[in-house]
A and B are shown apart, each in its own frame.
Chain A
Amino acid sequence: MLSSEISRRTLLAALVTAGAGFSVWPRKPRGRAAAPPGRVVLTYWEKWTGPEALTIQNIVDRYNAAQSRVWVQRVTVSEIREKAMLAIAGGDPPDIVGLYSYNIPNYAEAGAFIPLSEFAGRGALPEDHYAPGVWKLLTHEGRHWAGVNGCFSFAFYYNRGHFRDVGLNPDAPPRTVAELDQCAERLTRYDANGRLQQIGFLPSIPSWWPHIWPVMFGGRLFDATTNRATLTDAACVAAYEWVRSWPGRFRPETLGGIASSFEGAYHTAQDPFLSQRVSMIAQGPWMANFRRTYAPSLDFGVVPLPPIESLYDSAAPVGMLECDILAIPRGCRHPEEAYAFLRFTQSREMQELLAIGHCKPSPLREQSADFAVSHPNPFVAVHGAILNSPRAQIAPQTRVWPEFTISLENAFDAIWAGDDVRRTLGAVNRHIQQKLDRAAERREKRRGRSSLPAGAPA
């Protein structure tokens, strides 16, 4: 007993010592090259990890090699939406931050980004450099806030093999919502035990773009001119009524946990589409990348998402755009150098390099001749068409959007579980409208005071 007590104590002491040794081990974070002496070090926060990060690092490396004054240090930051804001407020922001286009209103209105026009003397980034939809994403209230860093839209991905299996023509995918409904019904199959074997379509995946469906029904979520949330408009209601009808289209008790277990599987070999358990889905251009990794033999086709019949126009698809952005936080150490780097990334060469690495369409107005040829995504033209369509929408540009989208995701769950659409949307709309009104009113109040010195504690 005594000896075991002593040996235990020795072991514990040994462990503590080993732990202490390890904890002060001067280990360099992985994949981090030290800045050469004498260079100005720019800190660049980026959310991407894995293969996407490699492409971004490639651009950073090229910049570091292209000149000898500045060294860009890319740092991976998760939860970047919150972290960047806190770091700016905390007075220690990075020099460049890679966020999403929908973050712009929040940061811009709080004065947390430096508008790029302030650097015009160092070479402007003109409007006609970007595709019109992308320019809309990068600007807010008439000012240009950020550079683009890859742009995407959702399209309709369908399994051509499954189409053939059930006698559908793989070259004639659904063009409208009604056609989608019919195809989905034919593609849904059960095994001998009555279990779901193959699901035609599920509007619940992926879960993080629940606001795409009103667009396909001709609706919009928000009216910027009147600052009104418009979730209760007929088109939105129709879209979510359609969503609500989906779980009931399968035999009772068969869908069960399947739908939600797909959520974590996205991006893996168990991805519902890549593993051929779901025949048709709404997804982004990165699917081409994942096919290469997880399902190289999968034969799929891509077309714009089918809208309701009255909206269908093969020349100008309906859709929704979003992009990654690069912005310069107010209060960063090296804004001038940050702008020089940002400008470098906006060149056609770099944006096409990025687009090819991420399998995305080019966000710029002009494309090089061999962009489409060398692009690994055979369907990049479909995403390009949505990106350049005059009918492509962008997410509401309001500071309340983060709460808007969370509320909408949860309303989607409620509707999916069978709650009344009009009531659910009405509740969200009321909640968001109150926040919108309050935000507008407080902004007005702040404007009135902004001439006074800011004497409040902070």
Chain B
Amino acid sequence: MTDAPRSANAARRARAVERAATLRGLLWIGPWLVGFAVFLLYPIVMSLIYSFTDYSILEPPVYVGLENYRDIMTKDATFGRALRNTLVYAAASIPLCTLLSIALALLLERDTRGARAVRAVVFLPTLVPVSAAAIGWMWLLNGDFGLFNAALSAIGLPRPDWLGNPRWAMTSLVIMSLWTVGGATVIYVAALRDVPTTLYEAAAIDGITRLGRAWHITLPLISPAILFNTVIALIGSLQVFAAPYVMTRGGPDFATYFYTMYVYANAFTYARMGYASALAWIQFLLILMITAAFFASVRRRVHYRV
């Protein structure tokens, strides 16, 4: 008889303890919670609200329903152009960067003095400020006096007008993105180092070829790193902005006009915050969808070790 109230008491006390623990936990992460609410959650909600308005930031917003979204989807040619450019860039840059960084990682995996030094050299460009890199590359790709064309004409090849020609401008940006594969490379190097050598030895004993070992052992074991790098690259390249903004302003002929640039132009140059917010939300959903689709399609092929 005396047990029941005691256990109820204990339960109550346990709940109180738990509540105190939660409160204490929330207090500890308080800085982040405040920052999250003020700099992320509130802006996101407001952006959703603005996307249903006509809002020049100079005048108060006026509700227009779905009109912004309808205009974007059905009438806006620049939207289509910017979206296509962004997808093309991602589709070209991500696989190339992945291949290059895995190749580099295989080359630089060993812990020799030389490999360490080259690893540092490969990593360094990822730290260079984007605007500084962009301006440097404008110079490297200068049609008349750039390093690229000096090298090309030295070996007798034609000299494309890299950033000035609509057909080459996108290629230029993809080439430039290859310069910053250092981050992915060091992640792959770390992943490769984690592959136990015993696995390779066992496979070698079983008479499996080098290629077979790479395919059956290395690839599955570094697949989490591939997944991670690809998702980071996806999110990054679907929002690319600073480099083309500095280098081409989206030209020539909108060949390098990326999605985020159109959002920026609408928000700050054309004073159409509402329209810009709608564009941004479409981008957000697109990123979520593409990332989710990617996760779903590779999930079964990624091999996590526990």
Contacts and interface: CB of A to CB of B under 8 A. Distances in A.
Interface of A: 81-82, 85-86, 88-89, 106-107, 110-112, 253, 256-261, 263-264, 399-400, 402-403, 406-407, 409-411, 413-414, 416-417, 419, 427, 430-431, 434, 438, 442, 445-446, 449, 454-458
A434 B71 contact: yes
Q: Which of A82, A257, A431 has the most CB of B within 10 A?
A: A257
Interface stretch (B109-117, B154-162, B202-210, B216-224): B154-162
A438 B142 contact: no
A442 B59 CA distance: 12
A256 B143 contact: yes
Q: Per DSSP, are chain B's interface residues mostly helix, strand or loop, or mixed?
A: loop
Nearest to B81: A410
B201 interface: no
Q: Which of B78, B158, B163 has the most CB of A within 10 A?
A: B78
Given A256-B159, A257-B162, A259-B164, A410 B250 contact: yes
Contacts of B76: 431, 434
B69 to A, nearest CB: 13
Contacts of B159: 256-257
B291 interface: no
B271 interface: yes
Given A417-B165, A434-B71, A111 B59 contact: yes
B18 interface: no
Interface stretch (B227-235, B251-259, B282-290): B251-259
B162 to A, nearest CB: 7
Interface in B37-66: 49, 53-62, 64
A402 B143 contact: no
B144 A257 contact: yes
A410 B257 contact: yes
Interface in B154-207: 158-167
A111 B58 CA distance: 7
Contacts of B250: 406, 410
B251 A85 contact: no
Given A413-B252, A458-B57, 10 more contacts: A257-B149, A259-B143, A260-B161, A260-B163, A260-B252, A410-B257, A414-B252, A427-B77, A446-B54, A458-B61
By Cβ-Cβ distance, the 6 closest A-B pairs, closest first, are A257-B143, A260-B164, A413-B252, A261-B144, A110-B58, A257-B161
A257 B77 contact: no
B241 to A, nearest CB: 14
B253 A417 contact: yes
A452 to B, nearest CB: 10
B54 A442 contact: yes
B268 A403 contact: no
B270 interface: yes
Given A111-B58, A458-B60, A434 B75 contact: yes
A79 to B, nearest CB: 9
Contacts of B257: 410
Q: Per DSSP, are chain A's interface residues mostly helix, strand or loop, or mixed?
A: helix
B62 A446 contact: yes
Given A402-B269, A413-B253, A414-B253, A110 B56 contact: yes
A407 B254 CA distance: 8
B57 A85 contact: yes
B61 A257 contact: no
B253 A86 contact: no
A456 to B, nearest CB: 4
Given A431-B77, A431-B78, A112 B58 contact: yes
Given A431-B78, A434-B71, A456-B61, A261 B142 contact: yes
Given A82-B269, A261-B142, A427-B77, A411 B253 contact: yes
Given A260-B143, A413-B253, A406 B62 contact: no
B268 A417 contact: no
B265 interface: yes
Nearest to B138: A264
Contacts of A414: 166, 252-253
Contacts of A449: 62
Nearest to A204: B164
A257 B142 contact: yes
A393 B257 CA distance: 30
Nearest to B149: A257
Contact of A456 (B58, B62, B164, B251): B62
Contacts of A107: 58
B268 A257 contact: no
Contact of A89 (B57, B77, B251, B270): B57
B28 interface: no
Contact of B78 (A86, A256, A263, A407): A407
Nearest to B153: A256
21 contacts: A85-B271, A86-B57, A256-B158, A257-B146, A257-B161, A257-B164, A258-B143, A259-B143, A261-B143, A406-B250, A410-B250, A413-B253, A414-B253, A416-B252, A417-B166, A431-B76, A431-B78, A442-B54, A445-B62, A446-B59, A449-B62
B304 interface: no
Contacts of A456: 53, 60-62
Interface string B267-301: 01111000000000000000000000000000000
B166 A413 contact: yes
